[in-house]
Structure 1
Amino acid sequence: MIESNPAQYIIQSEEKSDSKPTDTSHWPLLLKDYSKMNIKKTQFNPILDAGYSPLHRPIQEHINYGTINIDKPSNPSSHEVVSWIKRIVGAEKTGHSGTLDPKVTGNLIVCLNRATRLVKSQQNQPKEYITVMKLHGPVEGGRKAINEALQTLTGAVFQRPPIQSAVKRQLRIRSIYQNTLLEYDEKRGLVVFSIQCEAGTYVRTLCVHLGLILGVGAHMEELRRVATGNITEEDNLVTLHDLLDACWLMKNKKQEWYIRQVIDPCEVLLAAGSSRMNRQMGGGGYKRIVVKDTAVNALCYGAKLMVQGVLRYDNAVGDDRKEVIVLITTKGEAIALAFASMSASQIETAEFGIAAVLKRVIMDRNVYPRRWGLGPTALLIRKMIESGELDKYGRVTDKTPFNFKYVDFGGVSSNEQGQWAKGSAQPSTVESTNPSKRTREEDNYSE
């Protein structure tokens, strides 16, 4: 936990882009190494009285955007553990990163309230397990044969869920990224190995297949999950007792320090991890685009991110248009998950256009103030709504002035020079002249 002044970890507006870069290698979460990001603009209008640094949110906001890396005990199901956490914390909504069988222990990421919007992305993250496998007989070749069998079952493999599974038992393909033999006890017939795999892989089925390859038969004796995506059991893993004690201290003693250590901000799920699994699989973490404070609330309402709202962006952003990226504020808050519509080189040179399209909004609306609807046309429409010349939705009524209804298709400067002055009588009432609607009606009539 970083204890410091929240204002210390905010991207500041600068007059010159060639100023000496700040060392940001120690900055928290999504702002780490932000000084290495490409710069689109350095000057912007900061909104300092809106939003919070993820590590310094008020306690209720901290819980509202919180995630818990819980150490699931053996015997209760994942859904039971999540329901207990929901009752202990008093959360309205909870979700988890992927179901563990009742006898399986280890890393289970539980998201609270607004953070549940990240559950789907976490369920699809790769997983890492430590497995104890029981062999049904002695293996010819010993440790070498087991190593070869483990290497055989890497890459894409066919699997059918075991009988104990609650899902439909149909054949499917799952990717095994790496199998590593950790220990082999020949006398007891026990094998301990680690597996890095795609979400939805059944290790129980994998152990059965290993037994068939070795020619002696085998079954899974014990299983523990040690990593989900960027989060490992080394990253603030807590027990249910820790959570219960932290909530008791907060409710009865008004002490927040313990619950802030137990519950992490949701940004930890999106930031680059430092675990062995992340280093082997490319570093982990989402590519980032830093957004102007004045554009944040529009994104929370579902608007597309325009190039004019971009401040900084990672090098490889947009190289793969199907890759999910994260949009963040200058304070390091996660705004939304998105798909980049431009590559890094296009963002650098473009002055107009759509930089990213939203996939999932994370931040609540109106955390930042509204900054749209302040142009001359928007102000005129607002004034006409107040005077009754437009209805409350801004649509045309009988009281709407004719000049406001008319859409000039001919490039002329006035109505007198337009189509109504070319011999046809001006209609007494004119409906909304949406050009696309008019074209469709004329096309249908001509058919």
Structure 2
Amino acid sequence: MTNKQMIDGVLIVNKPRGVTSFDVVRQVRRMFGQKKVGHAGTLDPSVAGVLVVALGKATKLIDELQTRPKRYVGEITLGFATETEDLDGAVIATRAIDIPITAAKIDIAIKSLNGSIKQMPPMYSAVKVNGRRLYDYARAGETVARPERDAMIYDFHRTSDIDFENSVQKFNFEATVSKGTYIRTLASDTGKRLDLPATMTSLTRTMGSGFTLSEAHDLLEVEKLAPDDLRQTIVPIKDILTWPTHVLSDDEWFAVRNGQKIADWEPSSFLKQLYYNDKLKAVYQYDDSEHVWRSRYVFDNQ
């Protein structure tokens, strides 16, 4: 596609296991012929599911898209733990389960991890401490104090019977969580509540930024589409936003297109989508400190 055909919007991808999130971004860049592409929330190579890829001006919304809840389904295994808290790392602890833990005890442990919690990010994660990624410390065999992080677990529950075999127990789960939540740490912490090592042994993201697997596209299929059909896979920016809308008068449009603050709109905790001539132009946010509305995102000032 040429620059005149620049695409602004999001592509919902069903990322397969075995590829990185950046691999997907690189592939989307090639398919659409544009460099301005990013994703809203990394999926580890071993994790499949919804990856929201933003193109063009929609990349401005990545910070907003990342704040929206995510939902996962997966499997937790009790009886061993790894250095990465999933199957990608070496086993660092084992404990044979001779007498199965009851479903009631497991469900109590899971329930205790619902709501507002603190998480210790895994050593094998991209969190920065003193300017270095935690995984860099881990790969160098170094240890460092990790800051606890807040996470909101909206809903975490067991979705299957509990399988007991070869001295381990396994069960499936579903979790709806906030930005920054480590599901593998949620699995590990479930084990800690039961005084057992535990590992996340499978994971799929079924919802990201409000988009579900039913809306996601297989990139191998998307690659086969003709240009006009390829554009139809894109969710336009106006369909991503959920904030109240405001139709600008001529004078208001003059102010907005020049990036001016606006003082005569009623205060609100919600952002405001601004339209002029039936086109989304910008998003404004109320500034409590100055008691004015100011620009948050600009999509079109022509």
TM-score (norm 1): 0.54
Highest Rg: 1 or 2? Answer: 1
Q: Structure 2 vs 1, CA of residues 214 and 184 (structure 1 numbering), >3 Å: closer, same or farther? A: farther
- Equivalenced residues, count: 263
For 1:119, the equivalent position in structure 2 comes to: 62
Give, as a single letter, the amino acid of the residue that structure 1 aligns with 2:210: N
Q: 1-side partners of 2:294 and 2:36: how far apart?
A: 26
Provide the rounded CA distance (Å) in 2 between the counterparts of 1:292 and 1:138. 73
Following superposition, the deviation at residue 176 of structure 1 comes to 1.3
Larger helix fraction of residues? 1
1:364 aligns with 2:300: yes
Are 1:85 and 2:21 counterparts?
Answer: no
With over 3 angstroms needed to count, the CA separation of the structure-2 counterparts of 1:229 and 1:297, relative to structure 1, is farther
Q: Does the 8 Å contact 2:103/2:162 carry over to 1?
A: no
- The one of 251, 263, 284 aligned to 1:338: 284
- SS of match in other structure, 1:91: coil
Q: Is 1:161 matched with 2:121? A: yes
- Shift in alpha-carbon separation, 1:268–1:304, aligned structure 2, 3 A: same
Q: Which has the higher strand share?
A: 2
Q: Distance in 1 between matches of 2:98 and 2:161?
A: 12
Rounded Cα–Cα distance in structure 1 between residues aligned with 2:192 and 2:56: 45
Question: Which residue identity is paired with 1:290?
Answer: V
Amino acid in the other structure paired with 1:360: Y
The answer as to 2:184 corresponding to 1:204 is yes
- CA spacing shift, 1:138–1:190, aligned 2, 3 Å: farther
Q: What is the letter of the counterpart of residue 264 of structure 1?
A: V
Distance in 1, Cα, partners of 2:99 & 2:253: 61
Tell me the CA shift for residue 78 of structure 1.
0.8
Decide whether the 8 Å contact of 2:280 with 2:300 is kept in 1.
Answer: no
In 1, Cα distance between the equivalents of 2:159 and 2:100?
19
Q: Give the distance between the partners of 2:273 and 2:4, measured in 1 at CA.
A: 20
- 2:237 counterpart letter in structure 1: C
Cα distance change, pair 104–293 in 1 and its aligned pair in 2 (3 A): farther
Structure 1 residues 334 and 131: alpha-carbon distance in aligned structure 2, compared to 1, 3 A threshold: farther
Q: Deviations over 1:233-270 (max 9, x none)?
A: 23x21011132112xx22xxxxx1x2233112122221
CA contact (8 A) 1:242 1:262 kept: no
Rounded Cα–Cα distance in structure 2 between residues aligned with 1:336 and 1:302? 10
Q: Give the alignment of 1:186-197 within 5 angstroms.
A: 186-188=163-165, 189-197=169-177
Contact kept in structure 1, 2:3 and 2:34, CA below 8 Å: no
Aligned CA RMSD, in angstroms, stands at: 2.7
In the alignment, does 2:219 pair up with 1:240? yes
Distance of 1:174 and 1:214 partners within structure 2: 21
**Any gaps of 5 or more consecutive residues in structure 2?**
80-96, 129-133, 135-145
Q: What letter corresponds to residue 249 of structure 2 in structure 1? A: K
Q: Percent identity?
A: 27
Residue 365 to residue 327, structure 1, CA distance change in 2 (3 Å): closer
Distance 2:239 2:98 in 1: 45
After TM superposition, which residue ranges in structure 1, 4 or more long, deviate above 6 angstroms?
Answer: 59-62
Bigger relative contact order, structure 1 or 2, given CA contacts below 8 A and separation 6+? 2
1:204 positional shift: 0.7
Instruction: Quote the residue 1:324 is aligned against.
Output: 271
Report the TM-score, using the length of structure 2 for normalisation. Answer: 0.77
